[in-house]
Amino acid sequence: MLTRSEENYLKTILHLSEETQKPVSTNAVADKLSTKAASATDMIQKLAAKGLASYYKYKGVKLTTKGTREALRVVRKHRLWEVFLLKELHFKWDEVHEIAEQLEHIKSPLLIERLDEHLGFPKFDPHGDPIPNANGEVVTIPTTTLSILNPGERCRVICAKDSSSDLLTYLDKIDISLGVEIEIMEFHAFDSSFSIRVEGAGPITLSSKVAENIIIERL
Amino acid sequence: MLTRSEENYLKTILHLSEETQKPVSTNAVADKLSTKAASATDMIQKLAAKGLASYYKYKGVKLTTKGTREALRVVRKHRLWEVFLLKELHFKWDEVHEIAEQLEHIKSPLLIERLDEHLGFPKFDPHGDPIPNANGEVVTIPTTTLSILNPGERCRVICAKDSSSDLLTYLDKIDISLGVEIEIMEFHAFDSSFSIRVEGAGPITLSSKVAENIIIERL
DNA sequence: ATATTTTTTTAGCTTAATCTAAAATATATT
DNA sequence: AATATATTTTAGATTAAGCTAAAAAAATAT
Ligand SMILES: [Mn+2]
Ligand SMILES: [Mn+2]
Ligand SMILES: [Mn+2]
Ligand SMILES: [Mn+2]
C-alpha cells in the first residue's frame, strides 16, 4: 500500500518525464513538490527499493512499469474527481485542482469505478488533460503550444499545460477557455509576446510565458 | 489545523460520550480506535494541550466546546459523504462507512457546503443518524432500542446504533431496514432473545445483541 | 587542466504517531 | 484494611517524512 507522499512523488515523476524519455533530476522533483532536494533523494531511494522507480546515484530517476501503473492510477483519480467537482458541485476550473490533490489519495478501487460511471466515463478533465482508463491506458494529446504559431495562423485551445490557479484564473479573465478559437495577429520579437484575437473579441496581448502554457490544435 | 489522527480521536470521544455526560476512559477510546491505551493517553494529552479536550490524569477525557465543534464538523462530513455514496454512487448501506472514514478528512469548507446543497440538504445519513448542520447543530434522536420492548408492542426502525458492516449486512439479510415496522411476538428470558415479525413476513428470532443495536420508535 | 559553481547525496535532527514494557494509580476482593 | 487485579500513565523505541549543514560528485568556466 502506497502512502500519500509516495503517491505524490510518483505522480510528479510521471509528469516531469512526460515530454522527454530521460531520467528526471532530483531538484526538478523537489521543486515541483515544494520540498528540499535531500527529501526528494530519500523518497526516490525508497521508491527504487520498492521497485517503483529505477535510480542510479547522481543520474536521476525514472518510473518502472509498476511505478508508472501506480502513478496513472493516481492521475486517473485526480482527473475524475476534478470532473466531479466542476460538473456536479459547480466549482470553477481554477478551483478543482487543489481539492483533487486531496481526493486523489482516497483508497477504494470500487469508489473510483463508480464515480467514473456516474460521470458518464469522461475522457478529459476540466483542463483538457486525458483521463487514464481503468487499465491505465491514456490517449496522448498533442503538445503544440500557442507559442510556436506565426502571425496569420488560427488555432483552437485544447488544454492548459499548467493547472495552477494563477494561470487558469488569468485565462478566465481574458476569456480563454477550452475549445475557443484564436487568431494570431502579431509576434513581438523583443519580449516574445503575441497579439491575438479570441473569437471575434478585440485584440489582446499574451506574454510568452502564457503562450507556452496553452496547448492548441491548428485550424 | 487538525491532523487526521486528531480528527479520528475527537470523533471517537464525541461518540463515546454521547449517552452519558461522564468523562470517557482511555481504554474505551483505545478500543474504539483499535489502538493501544498508551497511544490514546498520548493523543488525549495532546488534545487537552490544544484546548480541544479537558483531561485529568486517571480521570478520563471530555471534549471542550471547541473540541465538540471540531468533532461535529467531522461527523457532518462523514454523514454527508455517506449519503453521497449511497444515493449517487449506489453503494449499499453497509459499504459506505469505511469509505466515508477516509472522505471525512478532506479539508475544504466550500466542498462540504456544495456537497450538502447538491444532495438537497439531507437531514439523516443512511443509518438513520442525524447530520449536523453547518453551524454544528444536530437534532437528537430517541435512544429507545428494540430490546426494551415487550411482546405485543409494535415499532418502526429509525436508526442502526452501530455502522459496522457486520451488523448492517445482517440486518439486510433479515430484511430489516430503516422505516420498516416490527411487531414483538415473544421474549425469551433464557438468552434475552426476541421473536419478532417484520412487516407481514414470517416470524424470526433476534439475539439480544442485535436487539440492543436497533433504535426504534413505538407505534 | 584546474578551479569554481551547481547539483546531489549523506549524516544527523525533529515531529507525529504508533508500539512494548515497566511504573503508578485506581478498583475490586477477601 | 490489606491484597490482588485492572486500568492508566510514563519511558524508551520505531517508522515515516520532513529539515539543515556538510561532503561528494558533476557541470561549467577560466
Ligand atoms: Mn496529492
Ligand atoms: Mn487537471
Ligand atoms: Mn476517519
Ligand atoms: Mn453513518
Nearest by CB to residue B89, choosing from A95, A102, A115, is: A115
Judge: B106–A102 Cβ closer than 8 Å, yes or no: yes
Among B22, B41, B63, give the residue marking a domain's end.
B63
Residue A107 lies in a domain: no
Q: Which residues touch strand C (CB under 7 A)?
A: A 25-28, 37-38, 40-42, 44-45, 55, 57-60; B 3-6, 35-36, 38-39, 42-43, 46, 57-58
| pLDDT level of residue B20 (50, 70, 90 thresholds) | confident
Residue A204 falls in which region: left (phi positive, over 0), alpha (psi -120 to 50) or beta: beta
Residue A115 lies in a domain: no
Q: Of all residues in chain A, what percent carry a pLDDT higher than 70?
A: 100
Among B45, B63, B81, give the residue marking a domain's end.
B63
For B197, the domain range is 144-218
Residue A92 lies in a domain: no
pLDDT at A138: 96
Residue B117 lies in a domain: no
Residue A186 lies in a domain: yes
| pLDDT level of residue A202 (50, 70, 90 thresholds) | confident
pTM, to two decimals: 0.94
Nearest by CB to residue A90, choosing from B95, B108, B114, is: B114
Residue of B103, B113, B116 to mutate when probing chain A, most A C-beta within 10 A: B103
Domain with residue A40: its CATH number is 1.10.10.10
pLDDT at B202: 85
Among B63, B81, B112, give the residue marking a domain's end.
B63
How does pLDDT run across A51-109, given as a tens digit for each residue? 999 999 999 999 999 999 999 999 999 999 999 999 999 999 999 999 999 999 999 99
Residue A162 lies in a domain: yes
Residue B33 has pLDDT above 90, yes or no: yes
Residue B137 lies in a domain: no
Cell of A114: 463508480
Are B197 and B210 spatial neighbours (Cβ–Cβ below 8 Å)?
no
List CB contacts (< 8 A) between A89 and chain B.
111, 114-115, 118
| Shortest-distance nucleotide from A26 CA to C1' | C8
Q: What is the mean pLDDT of chain A?
A: 96
How does pLDDT run across A177-187, given as a tens digit for each residue? 999 999 999 99
Residue A33 lies in a domain: yes
Return the half-sphere exposure (C-beta side, CA atoms, 13 A cut-off) of residue B217: 9
Q: What is the mean pLDDT of chain B?
A: 96
**Ligand 2 centroid to residue A125 C-alpha, Å:** 6
Cell of B4: 487526521
Ligand nearest to the CA of B33: 3
Cα pseudo-dihedral B96, B99, B104, B108, rounded to 10: -110
- CA distances to B52, B96, B103, B108, B149 from B115, in Å: 27, 16, 12, 11, 38
Residue where the block lists cell 531520467: A23
Domain with residue B182: its CATH number is 2.30.30.90
- Strand C: list positions under 7 Å from protein Cβ: 7-12, 16-22, 25-26
CA A160/CA A150 separation, integer angstroms? 20
B175 has a chain A CB within 8 A of its CB: no
- Note the CA–C1' distance, A55 to C7, in angstroms: 16
pLDDT at B167: 94
CA A129/CA B158 separation, integer angstroms? 46
- Note the CA–C1' distance, A185 to C22, in angstroms: 80
CA A191/CA A60 separation, integer angstroms? 33
| pLDDT level of residue A201 (50, 70, 90 thresholds) | confident
Provide the number of structural domains found in chain B: 2
Residues 88-147 of B with CB under 8 A from A: 88-91, 95, 98-99, 102-103, 106-108, 110-111, 114-115, 118
